[in-house]
Structure 1
């Protein structure tokens, strides 16, 4: 899938900062991270033989200092024209614990790719006391329906959602609008056995239309996929 314009800006910010490096061997990697307000935070690594932090660690601290909430997108780039680089294992674990819904830019065969942080650490350990704030992502076209309370259900594939408070974030929204809410239930069904009642379909909607829409959003989803029916509410 093509990257959103906002995601490309994060990658560009990391690469632009990396291009200024090279004169000091203690600072060789740049990172950029966008928060839910659309602000892009930037930082560089601090090498030291005692274990100085990677650029991703530093940019998480910079974002926290600025009062940013959950991070939406993260990218890192190396000096000397190395371009986009994936995070190390330590950074992946920290991002998973502190920003479990962040999308991370990694180099692809032909162009950059965005991966959920959990995909970069399969079968990983989750810190039990991390207590990170969760996000629930929506296509920006759904903002009106979610904000008005018309839409209270979403169906996800290979996208784990936890019950509890969440910040509703609308991808690539020019105004970077968010809503406070909570996930109240997550139910799991096989897509080819899903009923209209289980999917919470409106009377005018059809299962065929639902499946077609999901297939467009998840091109690799098999017909017998297990999907999650997520019910949510807005905070009053």
Structure 2
């Protein structure tokens, strides 16, 4: 789970990315969170000779506007989709050289997390990321409910999705995965405390108590005031494995 300040960093960087991706040369926004809680933003400039990434543009803006306010975290967002991106190798190295403890917002199977510049090597930059459907990782115990249509949504924390094509990834205990083609139909943001009995039923649970127990297992320490996304989906031919 992210901290409230890290969530603000992601939100403001995403807003900047959506507002300023006017052409193919400016598609990625970078955001830097400082010790005081300030967020400094920048946009990439693509050129075949090389050009600054969003994070590097933000780093220049930081030097010009908040040099005495040290950087503690960084995020990058792809404007056309609003997806959080792992930083490229250049940005990792540059920010590592500023401070190896700067935290990067990246995404793993559980959602958005932070990893320091020292730790980030496993989250390599992948230029094909934006050509793939979004992936929704779900526990293997949910597979029968997904296939039967009893589970038609999932409650996520710090794991953003958007309406459109998706793949549900059922993670097996032995490490294998079952892929189910799907479509995210709606995403509704609320808080844990405002989830309803209907949310529990659509999520495949008997009642709201059972849903809250599952949330506490998946997200230890989750509070009633924490934001959650109710992600509704439709599975294509859920009775057939791929």
Give the TM-score normalised by structure 1: 0.49
